Amino acid sequence: MTAIIKTEQLTKIYGMGDIQVAALGGVDVQINEGEFVAVMGPSGSGKSTLMNILGCLDRPTSGHYFLAGQAVSGMDKVQLAVIRNQRIGFIFQSFNLLARTSALRNVMLPLVYKRQGQLSPAEREEKAMAALEAVGLADRAHHDPNELSGGQRQRVAIARALVNDPVLIMADEPTGNLDTKTGNEIMGLLHKLHERGRTIVMVTHEPDIAAQTERSIVLVDGLVAEDGRSQPANAQMMNAK
Amino acid sequence: MTTAQQTAQAGVLEKAEGGDLETAVATIINPLEISRIAWEGVVRNKVRSLLTMLGVIIGVGAVIIMIAISAGTEATIAEQIEGLGSNLVFIQASFGRGGAGGGGGDQVTLVYDDIAVVESVGGVAGTTVDQTTSQTVKAGDVTLTDVPLMGTTPDFPEVRDVAVADGRFFNENELERSTKVAILGAALAEQLFGAANPIGQSITVGTTKLAVIGVADEKGIVGNTDFDSLLYVPITLVFDKFLPTQFRQFAGDRVRIIYVQVEPEADMELVIQQIQLKLATSKDVTVDELPFTMQTQQDIIDTEGATTEAFRNLLAWVAGVSLLVGGIGIMNIMLVSVTERTREIGIRQSVGATPNDIRLQFLTEALMLSLVGGLIGVALGVGGSFLFGSTSDMRTVIVPSSIALAFGSAAAVGIFFGFFPANKAAQLDPIEALRHE
Ligand SMILES: Nc1ncnc2c1ncn2[C@@H]1O[C@H](COP(=O)(O)OP(=O)(O)OP(=O)(O)O)[C@@H](O)[C@H]1O
Ligand SMILES: [Mg+2]
């Protein structure tokens, strides 16, 4: 079993002034290669904060984080940028696509900032096209985000997360802005990726969605409250009562 | 799992997957790609980009036009000085040094008879002299006041490079006898006689009647003299009729200036020295006491050059200020742009753009704004110079180095003023940038 994510006493404290908010109060998690993990918990429990640190977008206040064995918690901005580019595909609730930029060029973006094994423009386009095909959007490659539906936008974002062949896919409420049907389509895509061996960590509020994963980590007040096999949706609802 | 185990595991994995991080960090992404991203930023807001460039456009355009005008003026002056005649030395009485000899010696001045002294110097091809005054001139029922009268010698057309278009210039004989003849400048002939042929007509200058024997070709304004409005007469006539002084009885006829034409192969400096020596001997003073200035065409060109030099310095200031204003305009818009595009910056960072990538992107964008502005400015400057030269009587000469200078300054302005906004963009935190509304 290979640990893709391994954290030790990860903390994040916001507001260095008088009022301090401990968004994370010492999180220990290990996520292994090929796992599909849901992160749950009430609003404000620190899910996004954890995701951002695990996605190397943010740095913890204290604690250690090993990504595929590499200690990233002590890295500087430049190193983190390279790690994000090489290792991580991030999917956001609000898609975060470049406006007035075609789906294809959005998907090509991580390849533009690829530093090792730089690709020619033609190769970049080819790879991006393949990624768009994988999410079923090849026919929309030359459309701008504002010409696409929410579900389609999220699929472009997934293609972008995939294109650089990352070891880890982080998704912060990827279905949060979508209706149930579209959300399920997106989940279908993530399942496909998981089946092909990708490691996926996904934040969700919806028990239905969490139930489709192998493992659920529940955060409460910045601490891991539960960590175990995902339960069927109805069982979770009974737990909540 | 113990920490030791973890570290061991981490080490193994690092070998397998990482280890190349340092190389990656040191690698720069394709500059062409950066340029493309920056260019997209420029064309995305075409109108705004154009307005941003306006300062640079005007600055660069103005520099080129103004340098073209100044170069044109300089070329005209140089040509006019060439037009004075070739290989000329001007001998003039210098006012400031009047009393050099002390006592009776201050009567040392430039007189008509000095011509003979000057002509005795080897290497002198010819001389002429002039003494000017102004008179009222009548021809038929046309009366002109304050007509400049140029008293001179028959060598004048040759030495001063003035051609006679109609009739002839007066000769040695007429000079010696103070014959009452006149040659009209082209414009003067036109004013006095209109389309009629002036040759053989008579004019009244002051109270003296003169016969018109020639009309000079058009020459225009050279130095400060408008040759076309001159009335040429034998200098002896000026001494006799128009400038009678007490002074001539004992000192000879005072002249304003002696023009000396030096033979092309002669050494100018040597000829000047010898003229000074002979003049000093004939006047019984030392060379240092000689109250004359000796100027060559080159001296005059240098004097004019100093004037345009001052003009150029002024231009440099104007150019500097407009480029400064243009640069501040670029900085301002780039700052707005960075704020507006914070989210874009966050997105780029999230997929792996480093602070340097972002900095380069915005710096390149600022550079492009200033370079495109510079390019438009050059086009405008060159076009404007042509237009200015062809529609006004001012002459313009486009100086290639001015284009390079203007363009180079525009680029420097772009980099200088783009740096602060680009740095600001580079320092944004990815998470905060992504959260930006
Ligand atoms: N930049 C910040 N500055 C100060 N406090 C912050 C900041 N970001 C998050 N927080 C605080 O940290 C805590 C955790 O926030 P976080 O966004 O991780 O919650 P979450 O679990 O993702 O919530 P949600 O389900 O609503 O997305 C919250 O109390 C929040 O107010
Ligand atoms: Mg959240």
Top mutation candidate among A43, A49, A59 for ligand 1, by most atoms within 8 Å of CB: A49
The confidence score (pLDDT) of residue B305 equals: 67
Among B98-107, B174-183, B370-379, the range scoring the smallest mean pLDDT is B98-107
pLDDT at residue B415 in the model: 93
> pLDDT band for position B248 (50/70/90)?
low
pLDDT of residue B223: 66
Percent of chain B with pLDDT over 70: 87
Residue B207 in contact with partner chain A when CB distance is under 8 A: no
Q: CA-CA distance, B230 to B148, in Å (whole number)?
A: 5
Q: Highest mean pLDDT range out of B185-194, B264-273, B346-355?
A: B346-355
CB distance B431 to A96 below 8 Å: no
- Compute the count of residue pairs across chains A and B with CB atoms less than 8 Å apart: 108
pLDDT at A46: 95
A201, part of any domain: yes
Asked if residue B258 lies in contact with residue B208, where contact means CB atoms within 8 angstroms, the answer is: no
Owning domain of residue A215: 35-44+78-240
Task: Answer yes or no: is the C-beta of A14 below 6 A from any ligand 1 atom.
Answer: yes
Residue B85 has a pLDDT of: 60
> Distance between CA B131 and CA B137 in Å, rounded?
18
Decide whether any atom of ligand 1 lies within 6 Å of the A127 Cβ.
Answer: no
What's the CA gap between A170 and A55, in Å, rounded?
Answer: 6
Q: Which residue has the tokens 């046309």?
A: B142
Q: How far is Cα B141 from Cα B192, in angstroms, rounded to an integer?
A: 9
In a domain, A10, yes or no: no
pTM: 0.72
Does B347 contact A86 at a Cβ distance shorter than 8 Å? no
Query: Cα dihedral sign for A88, A92, A95, A99?
Result: negative
Compute the distance between CA of residue A73 and CA of residue A81 in angstroms, rounded to an integer. 13
pLDDT at residue B182, rounded to an integer: 93
Strand partners, B134: B148
Q: CA-CA distance, B222 to B225, in Å (whole number)?
A: 5
Give A19's contacts (C-beta < 8 A, 6+ positions apart). Answer: none
Residue B264: pLDDT band with limits 50, 70, 90: confident
Q: Is B17 an interface residue toward A (CB < 8 Å)? A: yes
Tokens of B114: 């000095």
Distance between CA B419 and CA B334 in Å, rounded?
Answer: 10
**For residue B115, what are its two tokens?**
């011509």
Average pLDDT (B116-131) is: 85
Cα gap B185→B206, rounded to integer Å: 18
- What pLDDT score does B158 carry? 82
Contact B351 A109 (CB under 8 A): yes
Q: What are phi and psi of B92, to 5 degrees?
A: -130, 150
Ranked by mean pLDDT, which of A103-117, A226-240, B71-85 comes out on top? A103-117
Tell me whether 0.85 is exceeded by the ipTM: yes
**Range B93-98, long-range pairs (CB < 8 A, 24+ positions):** B93/B256, B93/B291, B93/B292, B94/B291, B94/B292, B94/B293, B97/B291, B98/B291
Looking at the domain assignment, is residue A50 inside a domain? no
Of all residues in chain A, the percent with pLDDT exceeding 70 is 95
CB-based contact A8:A1 (threshold 8 Å): no
For A109-127, write each residue's pLDDT tens digit.
999 999 888 889 999 999 9
Which pLDDT score, from 0 to 100, does residue B135 have? 87
User: From residue A134, how far is each of A44, A94, A128, B150 by CA, in Å?
Assistant: 34, 21, 10, 97
What confidence score (pLDDT) does residue B12 get?
A: 34
Rounded Cα–Cα distance for residues B248 and B240 (Å): 10
3-state secondary structure of B27: coil
Answer yes or no: is pLDDT of B101 > 60: no
A142, part of any domain: yes
Percent of chain B predicted with pLDDT > 90: 27
Q: Is residue A128 part of a domain?
A: yes
Q: How confident is the model at residue A235 (pLDDT cuts 50, 70, 90)?
A: low
pLDDT at B6: 44
User: What is the DSSP code string of B189-249?
Assistant: HHHHHTTS--TT-EEEETTEEEEEEEEEPP--EETTEEGGG-EEEEHHHIIIII---STHH
Is residue A135 assigned to a domain? yes
pLDDT at A186 > cutoff 50: yes
Instruction: Map out the domains of chain B as residue ranges.
Output: 3-78+303-435, 88-297
pLDDT tens-digit map of B33-63: 889 989 988 898 899 999 989 888 988 988 8
Mean pLDDT of A156-178: 94
The structural domain count of chain A equals 1
Among A72-76, A143-147, A221-225, name the one with the lowest average pLDDT: A72-76
- Please give the Cα distance from A40 to A46 (Å, whole number): 10
User: Is the pLDDT reported for residue B98 higher than 70?
Assistant: no
In order of B31, B47, B341, the CA distances from A229 in angstroms are 48, 57, 42
Mode of pairing for the β-strands spanning B257-262 and B88-93: antiparallel
- Band (pLDDT 50/70/90 cuts) for residue A24 is very high
Task: Report the alpha-carbon distance of residue B199 to residue B168 in Å, rounded.
Answer: 9
The Å distance, Cα A25 to ligand 2 centre, comes to 16
Ligand 1 atom closest to residue A42's alpha carbon, by position in its atom list: 25
**A64, exposed or middle or buried, with CB in 10 Å at 0-12, 13-18, 19+?**
middle
Pick the closest to residue B111 from B231, B291, B364, B261 (CA basis): B291
Q: Tell me the per-residue pLDDT of B378-419, one tens digit each, with 9 for 90 and over.
A: 999 999 999 988 888 778 888 899 889 888 889 999 999 999
Average pLDDT of the segment spanning A19-42: 94
How many whole angstroms separate alpha carbon B73 and alpha carbon B57? 24
Q: A48 C-alpha vs ligand 1 centroid, how far in Å? A: 7
SS3 B368: helix
Put residue B220 in one of left, alpha, beta given phi > 0 → left and psi -120 to 50 → alpha. Answer: left
How high is the pLDDT of residue A125? 95
Q: Is A199 part of a structural domain of the chain?
A: yes
Least confident range from B180-184, B309-313, B368-372, B430-434: namely B309-313
Mean pLDDT to the nearest integer, B140-146:
88
Specify the pLDDT at position B286: 85
Tell me what the pLDDT averaged over chain B comes to.
83
Confidence of residue B81 (pLDDT cuts 50, 70, 90): low
- Which chain A residues contact residue B23 at CB under 8 A? 116
Contact B351 A114 (CB under 8 A): no
Q: Provide the CATH number for the domain around residue A162.
A: 3.40.50.300
How far lies B75's CA from each of B70, B82, B239, in Å?
A: 9, 10, 37
The answer to whether B239 and B168 have CB atoms below 8 angstroms apart is: no
Query: Mean pLDDT throughout B296-308?
Result: 72
CA distance A211 to A222: 22
